[in-house]
Amino acid sequence: MAIDPHASPSSRTDPTLAAMKAGFDDDLFVEGADWETVVDAVEDETLTVNMGPQHPSTHGVLRLVLELDGETVTHLRPIVGYLHTGIEKNAEFRTWVQGTTFFTRMDYLAPLFNEAAFSLGVEKLLGIEVPERAQAVRVILMEFNRIASHLVWLATGGMELGSTTVMEFGFREREHILDLFESQSGLRMNHAYIRPGGIAQDTTDDFEARCEALLTLLTERLYDYEDLLTKNPIWNHRLRDVGHITAERCYALGVTGPLLRAAGVPWDLRKAEPYCGYEQYDFEVPTETAGDCYARFLVRLEEMRQSMRIIRQALDTLPGGPVMVADKRIAWPSQQSLGTDGIGNDPAYIRHIMGESMEALINHFKLVTQGFTVPAGQVYSPVESPRGELGYAITSAGTNKPYRVHVREPSFVNLQAANEMTRDHLVADVIVVVASLDPVMGGVDR
Amino acid sequence: MTTLPAPGRGLSGDARSLDDLAARLTDRFGDVTTDLAHGELTVHVAPEQLVAVLTFCRDDEELGCELLADLSGVHWPAGDHVVDRQPSTTGWPEYRIARDEGVIEVLYILRSVSRNHWLRISVGTPDDEPRLPSVTGVYETANFHEREVYDFFGVVFDGHPDLTRILMPDDWLGHPHRKDYPLGGVDIPYKHEKFIPPPDERDLREVVD
Amino acid sequence: MIELTSASATAFVAQAVSVFDVGDGFVVPLLLKLVFILAMFFVVPILGGYLEHKVMGRMQDRRGPVEAGPFGSLQLVADGIKFIQKEDVIPRAADPWVFAMAPGVALVPVLLVLLVIPIGPGVFALDLELGLFYALAISSISTLGILMGGWASANKFSLLGGLRAAGQLIAYELPLILAAAAVALQAGTLSLVGIVEAQATFLIPGTDINLWYLFPQLLGFGIFFLAAMAELARPPFDMPIADSELVFGYMTEYTGIKFAMFLLTEYAGMIVMGGLIAVLYLGGWQLLPGVPLPGCEGAGGIFDCGWQGQLLGVAVTLGKMMLIVFLFVWARVTYPRLREDQLQRMAWLVLVPLALLNLAVITVAKVVF
């Protein structure tokens, strides 16, 4: 290590700043020159193209350095980190409950999975069991989230193939799902709704009716996608035999999720290690054997159907009861109720802590300001996110804050396969392959 | 040659209990220690054994870990730390971190798709000069993960094909996930060479004498 | 142009008389023709663009432009004003002269093609003997502008886009010309007015049923339509632009008015191709096969019309153009973009052989009947 990590901040920043200033006038601008000089300087026949980080189809700020021979890709190097926000580090300075508000912002297309995986890990450390109703609601919302995420994948993937209609359709349906999330959690994205110990608040009265209506709508609209795309000749031509990867290479590169299933392995953590009561529900793990982009398209389309199947079963068997653990040392103390201003504190609860019980007030105060402590230990809690295995490796030192949380992000890992999947393909296929990987840069860069 | 499950064979192998796995590893490598907590198996190995253990986990018929699911680091600095507690409300025992020497613990999560189990390999390296063998030769997916651990903890992985920073900018100084990384107080250069001092320097952690 | 209309080039000018040739003067007809061409150039593309916005919106379950003008009809005008106000950026590494000239080189040929396209009985600027040849030859020059823009931008995406455009336009020029040649063969003339006239008098051999060339040359129509879409780089053939791959292809570095000129090239190109298809295959300004326009009953039913007949003829042609634009838009919302190799394969292995087959069949039929 070239530098002293203990050095004071100013001495840390000075060298870079000085270097920046020194080089500012000379290096940052390429002087205008005749294009010929550029051409003459080229020795080999390959062209290096920087695709991104500012590029329409790199899912945010992914940068792909392409080595092109004509239009054929000879090498692809993904460069990430442009969206790094230090969420893992930040979480070390927030309480366990506050952690969910951070992690939900990582993979912003699948926020509920992040919350769920983190909460499951914390619950494992605490050794608590979440009430059945909370588990069922988690399942329903996570599956809706899976559909929403796949819809965005379809929308952006279609957009990148030049099919704006698919984009409009995908986002249109997703909006309905986000409306449902908003009605339950108050937020369209980044809900912080699933928390250690249960969920933030019970569902609204019209929750089941809303879900039913949404399922009816989605069932119908999924057929539209099939009509528009599955037999669409150009869609077929563009996706088939593109970005092929075998199951063996998936294992070696750590690729999971729809990509692994499209390569023929029926691997799904909801089946393998059921969490949140997934073992109660009857569903299938769709697989394809081709391992190309078209297979991934079919797998994701079928996954949306299976998700709806799970939601139906969960709605049919939705149990009553509390949505937060009974343990007063963990459960969020504040009781919300609908006030004249739309939302507010429950007057009865306020009377209880302010007028009746000093201990309740102390408990409330302690839990809200300091949070609960979690016994020391290490856990790894994986869930099946829309992109693959989303794992939270949580280390607790026995405090009210995580000691270290590391997230195994499927987007981050799957991106490693991009080079292999695009070799000897054309530039146009790079877009298709990256779209089929479905990376979310918020998750990749964390 | 690795034995990987054929496509379609996921979940079809016989399950092995974590105790069996622990026994198999301790039989093969005498000096590894295993630890079972929260229903998770952790195997502590020495750095020099690391590649051998991972190769064994991948190739062994019983363990059959085809996937390196995760690779992460945890920094345990040297010293004595007690973190703020609230035993009056929780009743949990006080916890104290006390280590003679700082350690960066690197955790490998190995997963078997065919037998549906996973285990954690834990390996420590001193934090003043962290150095570990790279496992990219065993699991290619370790490439990005090891770059991340290098970026955040400064662990040098010998034999890594391209050990560069991945998430932080290339010219970043320091390794931000280490507990001794100074936080807050980053000078922000404004126009006209003016520096506005940062509001405060956040404590790294609560250190009690 | 002046030379061409004057006596020295009369040999190339067909007999058909334009409505703009009022009196014996030279200046007044010329001005009228200029006004006509410019109106075709600036107004009709905006109509086409508005149609595209609205049709796409409807097909995608949204409303399209609604704010600018009544029902959003002035959206493209507003866009144009916005583009004029934008800063005109020329990259430092670009070749400034070629960079600045490229949009013009792309745009002017489209304007020139409008010279020969008849959009009503007598409503055209010029009826060249070699009208079809002229139209196809001139419109190929646009490619040069695109290639210049791609090269001069000193941007790799632009370069790739420019090269793709060159490859694509060369590949699709051939089926386009072969399909058009079959029409010229059947009509026995290269004059666009003459082709419309020939369609009005074409009868199915042995019967007295009049047909447009769409029906005997359905294959040719399909080839011409696809090739026209590719020539215009319209989705699903928009690889030279390919906004998701090449940022915006050869247009990546262009801003402001130069960018607007490229856009106008695209929209005006749609109108030109729509006009050519209407003339070559859809019977020009005839309402239905064999049915003369009201007021045009005399002289074969296509020339001798009153002013109502002429206006109706213009409306019919514009309607047919818009129908073609509608088909372009329909294809755009339905299909994703093709890949470059698929595009080339389709041109050389499918369209060119089919176009040759079409030409051969038409030739044989022409000789036999």
In terms of Cβ atoms closer than 10 Å to its own Cβ (0-12, 13-18, 19+), residue B19 is exposed
B neighbour chains, 3+ CB pairs within 8 Å: A
Distance CA(A255)–CA(B140), nearest Å, equals 11
- Preceding amide of A53 cis, omega within 30: yes
Question: What are the helix (H) ranges across C202-236?
Answer: 218-231
Section C108-118 average pLDDT: 86
Give tens-digit pLDDT for C231-264. Answer: 888 888 888 887 777 888 888 888 888 888 888 8
**Contact criterion met (CB below 8 Å) for B104 and B76:** yes
For tokens 């840390």, the residue is A12
CB contact under 8 A, A362 and B89: yes
Helix axis angle for C27-59 and C96-113, nearest 10°, is 100
Question: b or e along A274-310 (b: 16 or more beta carbons within 10 Å of the residue's beta carbon)?
Answer: ebbbbeebebebbbbebbbbbbbbbbbbbbbebbbbb
Q: Name the CA radius of gyration of chain A, rounded.
A: 24
- CATH class, B18-182 region: alpha beta
Count of beta carbons in the 10 Å neighbourhood of residue A412 = 26
pLDDT of A148: 92
Report the residue of chain C nearest A164, measured CA to CA: C333
Question: H or E stretch including B132?
Answer: strand B131-133
Tell me the ipTM for this assembly: 0.79
Contact by Cβ (8 Å): A446, A87: yes
- Who among A47, A172, A234 is closest to C338 (CB)? A234
Residue type, A112: L
Cβ-contact A362, A93 below 8 angstroms: no
Question: Minimal CA–CA distance to A88: which of B176, B166, B125?
Answer: B176
pLDDT above 70 covers a percentage of chain C that reads: 89
Residues of chain C whose C-beta is under 8 A from some C-beta in A? 56, 59-62, 91-95, 151-152, 154, 156-157, 160, 164, 235-236, 238-239, 242-247, 332-342
Judge whether residue C66 has pLDDT over 80: yes
Sheet holding A404-408, edge to edge: A377-385, A388-396, A404-408
A267 interface with B at CB cutoff 8 Å: yes
On whether the CB atoms of residues C285 and C317 are closer than 8 A, the answer is yes
Interface contact A56-C247, CB threshold 8 A: yes
Confidence at residue A38, expressed as pLDDT on a 0 to 100 scale: 57
pLDDT (tens digit per residue) in B172-198: 778 888 877 776 655 666 777 666 655
Neighbours of B4 (CB within 10 A): 22
Domain ranges in chain C?
34-72+89-368
Task: Give, in degrees to the nearest 5, the angle at Cα A79 between A77 and A81.
Answer: 165
Closest CA to B89 of A97, A322, A400: A400
Q: Each residue of B62-107: pLDDT tens digit?
A: 788 888 888 988 888 877 665 544 444 444 445 556 677 888 889 9
B86, B174, B187 ranked by CB distance to A366: nearest? B86
Q: What is the pTM of this model?
A: 0.83
CA–CA separation, A446 vs A410, rounded Å?
12
Going by DSSP bridges, is the β-strand pair B117-126/B40-45 parallel, antiparallel, or unpaired?
parallel
Are A185 and A195 a contacting pair, CB within 8 Å?
no
Map residue A159 onto helix, strand or coil.
Answer: helix
Rg (CA), chain B: 21
Place of tokens 């359709």: A169
* Residue position matching structure tokens 């020159």: A33
Q: How far is B118 from chain A (nearest CA, A)?
A: 10
Nearest to A375 among B4, B89, B92 (CB): B92
Among chain C residues, the shortest Cα distance to A227 is held by C334
**What is the residue type of C238?**
D
Q: Write the DSSP string, B92-146.
A: PPP-EEEESS-EEEEEEEEEETTTTEEEEEEEEEESSS-EEE--TTT-TTHHHHH
Amino acid at B174: G
Count of CB atoms situated within 10 Å of the CB of A312: 17
Instruction: Assess whether chains B and C touch, using the rule of 3 or more C-beta pairs within 8 angstroms.
Output: no
Task: Retrieve residue B39's tokens.
Answer: 């229903």
Tell me, what amino acid is at A15? P
Q: How far, in whole angstroms, is CA A446 from its chain's centroid?
A: 10
- pLDDT attached to residue A392: 92
Please state, in angstroms and rounded to a whole number, the distance separating the CA atoms of residues A80 and A434.
Answer: 13
Give the Cα separation of A197 and A325 in Å (integer).
5
- Domain residue spans in chain B? 18-182
pLDDT computed for residue C301 by the predictor: 54
User: In order of start, what are the domains of chain A with their CATH numbers?
Assistant: 87-325+374-445 (1.10.645.10), 336-369 (no CATH)
Q: Give the residue among A307, A288, A291, A283 at the shortest CA–CA distance from A251.
A: A291
At CB < 8 A and 24+ separation, what contacts does A49-56 make?
Answer: A49/A427, A49/C156, A49/C157, A49/C160, A51/A430, A53/A79, A53/A82, A55/C247, A56/A160, A56/C243, A56/C244, A56/C247
Q: Cα–Cα distance between A215 and B148 in angstroms, integer?
A: 41
For chain B, what's the residue count? 209
Measured at the alpha carbon of residue A442, what is the angle toward residues A437 and A444, in degrees to the nearest 5? 55
Q: Which residue has the higher pLDDT, C346 or B208?
A: C346
Across the range C60-72, mean pLDDT stands at 84
Q: Which of A165, A235, A429 sits opposite C59 (nearest CB)?
A: A165
Q: Are A438 and A77 in contact (CB under 8 A)?
A: no
pLDDT attached to residue A34: 54
C128: closest CA among C280, C12, C279? C12
| C30 — pLDDT class (breaks 50, 70, 90) | confident
* pLDDT bucket at C333, cuts 50 / 70 / 90: confident
φ, ψ for residue B148, nearest 5 deg: -65, -45
Which tokens hold the place of A352?
A: 């209880």
The pLDDT assigned to B13 comes to 57
**Mean pLDDT along residues C26-53:** 83
Position with higher pLDDT, C239 vs C226: C226
Please give the pLDDT value at position A16. Answer: 44
Q: Are B146 and B71 in contact (CB under 8 A)?
A: yes
Can you tell me which residue has the tokens 């249109």? A172
**Per-block average pLDDT, block size 10, for chain A (446 residues)?**
41 43 42 54 72 77 84 86 87 86 88 91 88 90 92 88 84 90 86 87 85 90 83 85 86 89 87 86 87 89 90 89 81 68 70 83 80 84 90 86 89 88 85 87 85
Q: 3-state DSSP call for residue B205? A: coil
Per-residue model confidence (pLDDT) at position B183: 67
Those of residues 35-74 in B touching chain A at CB distance below 8 A are 37-40, 42, 66-70, 72-74
Reading the block at residue A247, the tokens are 């199951």
Q: Please provide the DSSP assignment of A388-428 as one string.
A: EEEEEEEEE-SSSS-SEEEEE-HHHHHGGGHHHHHTT-BHH
Looking at residue C15, what is its pLDDT?
55
